[in-house]
Amino acid sequence: MTFDNGRELHDYVHVWITSGREIENYVPKEIFDKILVSEPYLRKYMYISGEAGQRQRKDVKMVIEDKHFDPFAAFDFFYAEKYKFVDDSPLSDDQVTNIATDLSKKKASIAKSVVAEWKIEHYYSDDLKRNIANLIEHIKKANFYGEI
């Protein structure tokens, strides 16, 4: 399809299918590990239903291990599943979901922290390099700064 200005549809449209579930799969695990064990992201306790339906505060800990990301898992659940109670008892599925939801709500803040930690050597993926460069070119074209 050609528009009146001589541009083609591909000048305006860019499709990037990530090599995983979401863009977070490109973030090195070491960066996430560093950020998510620090304030304000580290969960230290949660409230659970105690006796007679009263809410009771129970301390939790995050256990960082060498397990790699599953490319089709969400980062928020990946890290939520690393939590245990301090007595090493596991969290229920609802409690894991609660932590994952909290992390998901903080995605913008987490992304800013990731950017602060990101170094040039973290562009290890050729797919990531190529797609970011292509995305930048499409943004330039959309703003009339790039080649047609």
Query: From residue 109, how far is each of 20, 58, 101, 112, 113 by CA, in Å?
Result: 22, 26, 14, 5, 6
Domain that holds residue 108: 9-135
70 domain-assigned: yes
How many domains in the chain? 1
* 12 within 8 A of 18, measured Cβ to Cβ: no
142 domain-assigned: no
78 domain-assigned: yes
Distance between CA 137 and CA 128 in Å, rounded? 14
Per-residue confidence of the chain (148 residues) as pLDDT tens digits? 777 667 777 766 777 777 777 777 778 888 999 999 999 999 999 999 877 778 999 999 999 888 887 777 888 999 999 999 999 999 999 999 999 999 999 999 999 999 999 888 777 777 778 888 888 888 887 777 655 5
53 domain-assigned: yes
Closest to 112 in 3D by CA, of 64, 46, 45, 40: 40
